[in-house]
Amino acid sequence: MLTPIVESALNEQIAIESHSSNTYLALASWCDAKGMEGAAKFFYLQSDEERAHMLRLFRYMNDSGGQAITPGLSAPRTEFKDILEVVENFLQGEVKVSDGINKLVYIATQEKDYTTLNFLQWYVAEQHEEETTARNIKDKINLIGLEANGLYLIDKEIGRLAAAETASKTSDAESGN
Ligand code: OFO
């Protein structure tokens, strides 16, 4: 059974994950409009993932006797200076999600809700992975640079990440993970 404090914190996280999904959809659309197909593919995938994270919280709450609240949507930012600013937005989004998860872990500990604490471990690991990915992409962009055919290389590089992620999700699904 969830305490009201844990329930409200879980609903806050649902809103954060939902906003991330919406934000990454806007990043995908910006990349698509600029002809950066690899980067667009990556952000469409990230948007789907955030929705999946939101649904995981949703089901956990409803299976635990709580009631998940469908969050309202606020319009995300749609214009960016360049791909570096897009990726910076992605990184900041992930940092915000991690802050939310850390807060939830703290609250579940205070409330002695060890089941929720255990459920949250998957999110802790996921956030570490996602923040690392965002930082790596940012480093690569800085290394390659936006001049000459830099944009082409950056797009290829981000597209490669999307393809790798799709392949690993497919093999996870096949092995039942
Ligand atoms: Fe769900 O926020 Fe990152 O992965």
Model pLDDT for residues 36-85, shown as the tens digit of each residue? 999 999 999 999 999 999 999 999 999 999 999 999 989 999 999 999 99
Task: Determine, yes or no, domain membership for 125.
Answer: yes
Tens-of-pLDDT digits for all 177 residues of the chain?
A: 899 999 999 999 999 999 999 999 999 999 999 999 999 999 999 999 999 999 999 999 999 999 999 999 899 999 999 999 999 999 999 999 999 999 999 999 999 999 999 999 999 999 999 999 999 999 999 999 999 899 999 999 999 998 988 887 777 767 766
C-alpha 74/C-alpha 110 separation (Å) is 31
3-class DSSP state for residue 15? helix
3-class DSSP state for residue 112? coil
Name the domain count of the chain.
1
Residue nearest to atom 1 of ligand 1 (CA): 50
- The minimum-distance atom of ligand 1 relative to the CA of 17 is 1
Q: How many angstroms is it from 39 CA to the middle of ligand 1?
A: 17
- Which CATH number does the domain housing residue 48 bear? 1.20.1260.10
Task: Determine, yes or no, domain membership for 114.
Answer: yes
Task: Determine, yes or no, domain membership for 47.
Answer: yes
Segments forming the whole domain that contains residue 65? 4-71+81-172
Q: How many angstroms is it from 68 CA to the middle of ligand 1?
A: 18
Task: Determine, yes or no, domain membership for 122.
Answer: yes
Name the residue among 167, 166, 159, 141 with its Cα closest to residue 40.
159
CB 105 within 8 A of CB 118: no
CB 84 within 8 A of CB 135: no
- Type of residue numbered 147: E
Q: How many angstroms is it from 63 CA to the middle of ligand 1?
A: 21
Q: How many angstroms is it from 148 CA to the middle of ligand 1?
A: 33
Tokens encoding 54 = 């939101």
- The minimum-distance atom of ligand 1 relative to the CA of 126 is 4
Which residues, judged by CB distance below 6 Å to any ligand atom, belong to the binding site of ligand 1? 17, 20, 49-50, 53, 94, 97, 126-127, 130
Task: Determine, yes or no, domain membership for 132.
Answer: yes
Name the residue among 31, 161, 13 with its Cα closest to residue 89.
31
Task: Determine, yes or no, domain membership for 177.
Answer: no
CB 143 within 8 A of CB 38: no
Task: Determine, yes or no, domain membership for 76.
Answer: no
- The minimum-distance atom of ligand 1 relative to the CA of 50 is 1
Q: Which residue has the tokens 């409330």?
A: 111
- The minimum-distance atom of ligand 1 relative to the CA of 54 is 1
Task: Determine, yes or no, domain membership for 45.
Answer: yes
Name the residue among 24, 155, 21, 17 with its Cα closest to residue 89.
24
